[in-house]
A = this chain, B = another copy of it.
Amino acid sequence: MSVYTPVSEVELTGWLRNYSVGRLTACEPIKAGIENTNYFITTTQGRYVLTLFERLPADELPFYLHLMAHLARHGIPCPAPIADLSDQYLGSLKGKPAALVTRLPGRSLEQPGAQHCEELGALLGRMHLAGRSYSAYLENPRGPKWWRFAAREVMGFLEKPHQALLESELAYQGEHRFPDLPRGPVHADLFRDNALWEDSRISGVVDFYFAGVDCLLYDIAVCANDWCLKSNHGVEPGRMQALLAAYHSVRPVTALEREAWPVMLRAAALRFWLSRLYDFHLPRPGMLVHAHDPEHFRHVLESRIAAPVPWMA
């Protein structure tokens, strides 16, 4: 579980007096998530999520909170930060930076079908369109610079063939950069567990704390490597086609993006292979969650290398 900082009901009741959301009626720690302390909060006004930021640099938090606020006011179903009585999204609780955001209805889906991928593609397209008028900038914190840092840190833990794979993929990605792809704020972590569903519709996209500015295509690739996966780590063409066609119908992708697609799928696999290796071999002190298995994304990467997947829309 991930409650690093316990907060009592008395402390919460007092803290909520900074807001115009009514009286606390219930609170419940949230067990999922590894970066922050989260509580479900119910008040006489509504349902919220309270987040205490345990690890994210304080100067990056406004980027995330204002991005969520920006997307929410464009109609994207993402958590909307609640401003306090001083009109601030970012507060402080138990000495930690803290924020209150709306709690969205719905549940995540383990086995999406083509129709779900179509819905996701359309939503991702709308999110990218809405994000283009967001003016704040934060470089994707898990971009190529971080890959090289993480690779150095984990290299020593790897078997020889995996070292070779990592080195050659970093070299390949270094030779295949696409500086002219359309860029903007990306979620960068839109796995199945970060989308909530209600009545076959996406009722919420959550956890923006890996967001940053990067190629929009990268965001699609992160989704594709999770939502369209087959058990052999290849992609299932029906779901992939549905995702890409729906995205394309909202934000038409360029010829350059189609060309970059197979490389971007590899980049997205590399990023998660690296972060999982890093969390596995170099767990942070006090990290209370079992790290995800790094092998999964090594297999995905190997599959994308062995069988390059063209754009399908």
Residue from B70, B74, B85, B201 within 8 A of A133 (CB atoms): B85
Residue A12 at the B interface, CB < 8 A? no
Pairs across A and B, CB under 8 Å, 7 listed: A19-B75, A20-B76, A20-B126, A20-B127, A46-B77, A74-B84, A75-B82
Q: What is the oligomeric copy number?
A: 2
State how many residues of chain A have any CB contact under 8 Å with chain B: 34
CB distance from A168 to the nearest CB of B (A): 39
Query: A310 on the interface (CB 8 Å rule)?
Result: no
State whether B81 touches A73 (Cβ < 8 A): yes
**The one of B46, B74, B122 that contacts A75, using a Cβ cutoff of 8 Å:** B46
- Residue numbers of A with Cβ under 8 A of B are 19-22, 44-46, 48, 69-70, 72-77, 80-87, 102, 122-123, 126-127, 129-130, 132-133, 201
CA of A201 to CA of B21, assembled, Å: 13
Q: Which residue of B lies closest to A251 (CB)?
A: B20
Q: Please, how many angstroms separate the alpha-carbon atoms of A72 and B132 in the complex?
A: 23
Please indicate the chain B residues that have their CB under 8 angstroms from the CB of A130 in the complex: 20, 83, 85
Given contacts A44-B122, A46-B77, A77-B45, contact A85 B132 (CB under 8 A): yes
Q: By the criterion CB–CB under 8 Å, are A69 and B73 in contact? A: yes
Give the complex CA separation of A21 and B129 in angstroms.
Answer: 10
CB < 8 Å neighbour of A82 from B74, B85, B129? B74
- The answer for the CA separation of A77 and B45 in the assembled complex, in Å, is 8
| Minimum CB–CB distance for A86 against chain B, Å | 6
A5 CB, min distance to chain B CBs, angstroms:
23
Interface contact A133-B22, CB-CB below 8 Å:
no
A65 CB, nearest partner CB in chain B, Å = 11
6 further A-B contacts with Cβ under 8 Å, apart from A21-B75, A45-B123, are A19-B74, A20-B130, A22-B75, A73-B81, A75-B82, A83-B130
A73 touches B77 (CB 8 A): no
CA distance A129 to B84 in the complex (A): 10
For A127, list chain B residues within 8 Å (CB): 20
- A204–B211 alpha-carbon span in the complex (Å): 32
CB pair B45–A75 under 8 Å, yes or no, is yes
The answer to whether A126 touches B21 (Cβ under 8 A) is yes
Q: Which residues of B contact A22 (CB under 8 A)?
A: 75, 122, 126
Query: A126: which B residues are within 8 A, CB to CB?
Result: 20-22, 45
Distance (whole angstroms) from the CB of A219 to the closest CB of chain B: 15
A281 to B276, CA, bound (A): 74
Known: A77-B45, A82-B74. A87 touches B19 (CB 8 A): no
Cβ of A105 to closest chain B Cβ, rounded Å: 12
Question: Once the chains are docked, how many angstroms separate the CA of A126 from the CA of B129?
Answer: 34
Shortest Cβ-Cβ A-B pairs, 3 listed: A20-B130, A87-B133, A21-B75
- A20 x B75 contact (CB < 8 A): yes
CA distance A130 to B69 in the complex (A): 17
CA distance A127 to B127 in the complex (A): 30
Q: In the docked arrangement, what's the CA distance between A45 and B72, Å?
A: 12
